[in-house]
Structures are given as structure tokens and as C-alpha cells.
Structure 1
Amino acid sequence: MNSTFDQSEFLQKLETQWLGHSIRYFEELASTNTYLKKLSSQDIQHGLFCLTDYQTRGRGQYERRWESEKGVNLTFSIVFTPVDTGRFHVLTLACALAIVEKLNDFLNASCAAIKWPNDIILNKKKTAGILTEAVFSGNTFDRLIIGIGLNINQQKFSYELKEVATSVSLEKGKEINREQFLADLLNRIEYKYTLWEQQQSSLIKTINQNIIGYGQWVGLKIDDEVQDELYKLLGINENGALLMLNRDGGIDSFSYEQIQLITN
């Protein structure tokens, strides 16, 4: 099942207009996000794509290490150079939505969802994570990098993760063609980017409907402190802030860095 990613097969299957046509592939790399962050402004363009078969220092949210077996999963990062230099968390969630919709269609079931702020849960287990980083040249925005780690064909996980992690292959019951899966996913991400760029309200609505806990009373951890009261999750607004209804009927707004949801 372990195999080298076939770039030519991937490019033949790719149907996007601009995303993923310029690819930097490495059999092994410390971090795809770090690689793209270190490139000069002259060496990047909108839609540049970096993929590795083995990421030795993969990072997730809160600097957590991302564990991935060599040659069986998808670990990649995308460069975006939008004119709009705000609402980046909405774009992160739009990419998460693209993954959720791809998984649900591929598995022919409503089994995937977004776990706030940037994980994808498949049948109650984590299957993907996203790390978004902005790069500035002095005080000027230069590029946005969205890194994605997606468990595709991994069959076994470490003792610490085996109860909380899964892969597409484990859920499907067969080996997955990584090149086709990625080509399809990038097509969805490109479309979500267009919706984000156009500030389509339908994108916000669909994102919210796919966040675990949406419309429910949930627990909150704010700045690492668990709150005594429950809050009703109203979803994100057009700027990506999370809106919560408190017991007094007021609406509180939180940035994604501030807050963790407790939904179980």
C-alpha cells in the first residue's frame, strides 16, 4: 500500500483552473508549511502547491505534532495570495468544508464533520487537520499558507491515537487512489475559494451546518479556562468569529484562537 505519489497521474486527473498546477513534490520534507513560508516572494504564485510523502516535523494547531505514516496519506500545503487580507479563518473552514463534502460523497454517507477550529472528524474519529499561517514582508501581507494532513491509506495508528484516529481507507474498506482523491479535493477547494472571495453568505451557512455542536448547548474553554455555564453554538459570522448565545440571552463573539468547544 506504501507508494510514491505519482505526479503525472495526479496532473492528468486534475481539473482545476489554477490550483495545484504548479507543484513542489518531495519524498521527504520537514514541513510543507515551513517550506512554503521560506520561499521568496518571487518564487511563489497563487495556487502553488507543496506535497510530501513523508513529513518529519508536521505541525498541527497549538504546535501539536501531526503523525503520518510514510507514503500512504496526503500531507500538503497551498499558497493563496488574496487581495482581501482578512477573514482567513473563514477560508480555513471553507477548506475544511471541502474535505467534509468530499468524504461524505466518497463514502456515500453523512459521516464527516468539522471539529472547531480546524479538525475533520470521520465517524467520530479524527481523519484530517488544517494549519493556516500568514506570511508578512515587514507589515505587508505576502501570502497565506493552508496546510492539510489527511489520513488516506493508513491502517494502523500508535497506541495513543488508535481510539481517536482513522483513515479514509479504514472507513471505506479498501485502498484509495491518492492521486484521484487529491485531484477531486483540490477542485472542491478551488470552488470554495471562489465562494470565499465573493463573500457568499451561502458558504457561511453551509460551514455552520457542518460544525459539530451547531445549534446545541455546549461547554467552552476560553483562554484555557473551562467555563461553568453552557453556551448555544450559533456558528461563525462573515468575519470568522464564533458566535455563542449565553444563558442571559446575549451573544458573545470569540476569535478561533481564544476558544475550544466541549461537545461531549
Structure 2
Amino acid sequence: MYSTFDQSVYQQELSTQWLGHSFSYFEELESTNSHVKNISAEEVTHGMVCLADDQIKGRGQYERNWESESGENLTFSLVFRPQTTDRFHVLTLACALAIVDYIDELLPNSNVCIKWPNDVMIDQKKVAGLLTETMFSGNTLDRLIIGIGLNVNQKAFSSEVSGKATSIAIEKGQTVERENLLSELLSRIEYNYNLWQRRRQDLLKSINRNIIGYGQWIELIVNGQLLEDTFKMLGINKAGQLVVLGEDGELKSFSYEQIRLVTD
């Protein structure tokens, strides 16, 4: 049954200092990221959140569609206007870490991890995906947009992703109040954003501890090609690049656009 997001409950629960106070709700949008990209610069505020109950053309990494049942999940975009114009992938992973930490509390017996470059997994099934986009005016960053799709109360998935996707409700065995979940999640994202802004090393350490394959020998697909050697994954550096150690002892670093990991 379709359940409309209750904005009044969300506003009552919200305890952030700035994130999510500017809030736009839509019953239906093609894509929250696309909507936010089309807002004029004068209307954009740092920390605004746009949420749609039904996102009919949701996009994931590599232009894949994001499947989500109307009124069951959280599909939303965060808008930031940071002073810096680098380390954006670290911020994406910091948002993923906030999701991991919160689900860890809800499901203490589950294995919740970040899958490079921008997914959250519960026991090897996808529960959330993130998509980061930027808009510049010349050399000046106008807005940084992080779109998040989080499976909350969806109980069934199409045959295409069945067995590969899950939701919090499936894992918990009961439905979850989306309004409370979003407000709590935004508090954690705001906290991690502040750590990111201050370039805190402990944020990187927390992210690395939660990435699948960290500290293990893995295979790499670089620019679509599977490399012959194996590499030890050392985690991300302060620039958000993935750092690996080759069998020959050489350190290599890759941007997230270049590389995919083979950990199985």
C-alpha cells in the first residue's frame, strides 16, 4: 500500500543544525538529482534536501536505473556548497558510512559494508546506492549533489535484481518509519560532513574499515580491463583515490571512475 511521506513528522524529528531544514517533497519526480540540477543558483541553499516518493527515472552509477517501489523507500538528494572543490568522493563515502553506521544499529547481527565505489550492502545484498554530481559556473563550484536511494520497506524486487537487493524491512522483519529514519540519517551525514570539511583522518580510517576488500588481496578492473596481477587494498587516501599495493611492492592509486574491484 502506498504510504505518503509525512513531512510534519519528519520536521518534528529533525535535529540537525543545517542539513535538511530546507526540504522539498514531491510525490513523483523523474529524478531528484535532475530536479536539483535544474533549480536556479539563487534558489539553491547549502544543506537543502529534495525527496520524491516515486522516482520514475532514478539513476545509479554507470547510468543504471535505480529500482524503487513508490512510497516504500527513501529516494532523495542532498545539496552542498562546500568551500573546497576537491575530495568529493570522500564525501560520498562519508555519506555511505553514515548509512552503514545507522543500519548497524538497526541490525546489529548483520554484515553492513560499503562496496566500492558507492553502494551499501547488507550480507552481500545491495540496500543503498549513491550518485554524486557537480555543477560549476566557470571554475566556481555552484553545487555538489549527492543522490541517495535507500531500500527501506520494499518487500519484493524484480527478477533482474532479486537475490542481489534487499531492504531494511526485509532484514529487520518489520517495517520502519521512513520519516524518523531520514531525520536520524541526516544527523549522521551532517556530522560526517563536518569531519570531511575539517579533513579529519579518523573519517578516512572509519571509511576504510568498512569498505569490502580492505586489507585483502583483490583483483582490479581498470578502465574496463581485468589486470593479471592481484593487489592488496590499502583503502582510500585523503583525495578519495583508492590505493593498492602491487605484488612487486609498488603503490598505485586510482580514481573511482577508473577502477572496479573483484573481491569474490
Give yes or no for TM over 0.5: yes
**Superposition deviation, residue 110 in structure 1:** 4.8
Which residue of 2 is the match for residue 41 of structure 1? 41
Listed one character per residue, the Cα deviations across residues 43-90 of structure 1 (whole Å, up to 9, x for unaligned) are 011001000000000000110000000000000001000001110000
Kindly provide the amino acid, as one letter, of the partner of residue 120 in structure 1. V
1:59 aligns with 2:63: no
Structure 1 gaps of 5+ residues are none
**CA distance in 2: counterparts of 1:159 and 1:90, whole angstroms:** 33
Cα distance between partner residues in 2 of 1:130 and 1:235: 19
When the two structures are aligned, how many residues end up with a matched partner? 264
| Structure 1: 4+ residue segments shifted above 2 A | none
Structure 1 SS opposite 2:166: coil
Match of 2:169 in 1: 169
Matched residue, 2:140: 140
Partner residue, 1:183: 183
CA separation in 2, counterparts of 1:135 and 1:2? 34
Corresponding residue for residue 18 of structure 1: 18
**1:160 to partner: Cα distance:** 1.2
RMSD of aligned C-alpha atoms?
0.7
In structure 2, give the amino acid aligned to 1:237.
N
Rounded to whole Å, the distance in 2 between the matches of 1:184 and 1:140 is 32
Alignment correspondent of 1:131: 131
Identity %: 58
Determine the C-alpha separation between the residues in 1 that align with 2:233 and 2:245: 7
How far off its partner does 1:126 sit?
0.2
Any gaps of 5 or more consecutive residues in structure 2?
none
Moved more, 102-111 or 8-17: 102-111
Q: What's 2:250 paired with?
A: 250
SS of the aligned residue for 1:42 comes to coil
Distance 1:103 1:124 in 2: 14
User: After the TM superposition, which residues 202-217 of structure 1 pair with which residues of structure 2 at under 5 Å, given as runs?
Assistant: 202-217=202-217
